[in-house]
Amino acid sequence: MKCPKCQHTSSKVLESRPIQVGNEIRRRRECNNCGHRFTTFERIEAAPLLVVKKNGNREEFSSEKVLRGIIRSCEKRPVSLEQMNRIVSETKLKLENADDGSHEVSSDLIGQGVMSGLKEIDEIAYIRFASVYRQFKDMNEFYCKMKELMDDDSSNNEK
């Protein structure tokens, strides 16, 4: 593992810790050359998860791309980066565990997973994400979705 400070290739592991979601290990390392401490993550290499887009194109699943969409929808909202990362990790884990052997998932499943996570954390971020993901054609569609959300909320408060 190269040191990010001096590029030396020898380091020692100071601490290893499993990460909550997924099969990852976080390692704190120290460079044997300059003493700089840094963190690395180790995960099992699996077959890539391919996303089938609405137009039929396929691309490799990108956690970073999903996170960027979530960050945009959570702008100026009280949602922490940790919560956003958790939504990405949980969504990806569900997709990998629901694997039917094809290693392909539709972009709809990803959007639904993200919306489900956002709905639990912040309704405004959920609506923002849904408005882009569902590509509302006009205010009527947007209003119907908001009304649906408000109706769900009021029925949950009555219980």
The pLDDT value given to residue 32: 96
36 and 61: one domain? no
Q: What is the pTM of this model?
A: 0.63
* Average pLDDT of the residues in 122-130: 89
Tell me which residue has tokens 């919306």. 115
Tell me if 99 is assigned to some domain. yes
The pLDDT value given to residue 141: 79
* CA atoms of 14 and 156, how far apart (whole Å): 48
The β-bridge relationship of strands 58-60 and 104-106 is unpaired
| In the predicted structure, residue 91 carries a pLDDT above the cut 80 | yes
73 and 114: one domain? yes
What is the three-class DSSP state of 46?
Answer: coil
Strand partners, 105: 51
Name the residue with higher pLDDT: 30 or 92: 30
| In the predicted structure, residue 42 carries a pLDDT above the cut 80 | yes
Which residue range is the domain that position 105 belongs to? 50-158
Band of pLDDT at residue 6, cut at 50, 70 and 90:
very high
Task: Give pLDDT tens digits for 57-66.
Answer: 999 999 999 9
The pLDDT value given to residue 99: 55
Q: What percent of the chain has pLDDT over 90?
A: 49
**Which of 7-21, 68-82, 90-104 has maximum average pLDDT?**
68-82
The pLDDT value given to residue 43: 79
Band of pLDDT at residue 10, cut at 50, 70 and 90:
very high
137 and 69: one domain? yes
How would you write 76-129 as a 3-class SS string? CCCCCHHHHHHHHHHHHHHHHHCCCCCCEEEHHHHHHHHHHHHHHHCHHHHHHH
Total structural domains in the chain? 2
Tell me if 118 is assigned to some domain. yes
35 and 57: one domain? no
